[in-house]
Amino acid sequence: MRFRVFPAVDILNGRAVRLYRGMRERATDYGDPPVEVAERFASVTGTLHIIDLDGAFTGSPKNMAVVKRIVDRTGAYVQVGGGFRRMEAIEEAYSTGVRSVILGTAAQDLDFVREVVRLFPDTAVSLDSRGGGLMATNGWTRVSGRHVSSGYSAMKGW
């Protein structure tokens, strides 16, 4: 494994944004289309961390056409998250040339994660926390009863 920097491009309603503490209503729109933002970042790092916020909030990816354009235009190593809770969505993401899909809410289902990782070893898991270390899910709108450390402990030997 080697050290990499992944500049983030968060997409909401087709725009590059940043959320304040994960709150959709507190989004800052950066004014530039996500593909242009991604091209600037990728020209420096060759890597991108893209979050489909619409997908995170709704439970299924909504901006894969934009992600595909980013992959095609930048040639970067792209990891993408946001709404990947079904195998079909994960397969679609990898078919676009994305190099790593990030599972967040889906990490609650350890059997599902194990199967995804078996099929796609470059899958990543994001254990977001809120409320004293409890796992945040559904685009940070909910908190599970599971602590981040127990989620990590359950997966660390894979």
Residues serving a catalytic function are 10, 128
Q: Say which residues have a Cβ less than 8 Å from residue 51's Cβ, sequence separation at least 6.
A: 8, 9, 10, 11, 80, 81, 82, 102
Pairwise CA distance, residues 32 & 96, whole Å: 23
Tell me the Cα Rg of the chain.
15
Pairwise CA distance, residues 149 & 147, whole Å: 5
Q: How far does CA 137 lie from the centroid of its chain?
A: 12
